[in-house]
Amino acid sequence: MPNRKDGRIEPGQPIASAISARAWNRAQDAADIVLGNRPGFAADGVASRSHVLGKTTSAWTKGSAQTVTVWAGELGSEQQTSDQVRAWNKFADIEANKWVMLARVSANSWYVIAAECST
């Protein structure tokens, strides 16, 4: 059966012929966000995540790597988790105790894509 123009699956259409694993995982992550779950977290903490929110624990200089603790939860009420990622900062110096948004660029490679400004 062909896929519908709106991207939905036809009743009775086998899932295997209608959707890729990547699309399914993105849909599941979206549902987890809406339901307030921790999307994509598995044994390594960030198995299928493409972006994570973290907070620096010490000053982070441009051109260096740092291990960052991941924060998760409902928007505005995020909590520190036990999950960590090691990320590279290619942009600018970041002070300690600042929020950072990190993006995955390959299996175990993360980069800073945004950082809280100094006050």
Domains of the chain from N-terminus onward: 1-37 (no CATH), 42-115 (2.40.50)
pLDDT tens column, 32-79: 666 655 544 443 456 667 889 999 989 999 999 999 999 988 888 889
Question: Are 43 and 49 in contact, with CB atoms under 8 Å apart?
Answer: no
Q: Is the dihedral of CA 113, 41, 19, 33 positive or negative?
A: negative
The pLDDT of residue 44 is 42
- At residue 114, the pLDDT reads 94
The number of residues making up the chain comes to: 119
Token code pair at residue 57: 């624990």
Cβ-Cβ contacts under 8 Å for 79 (sequence gap 6 or more)? 71, 72, 73
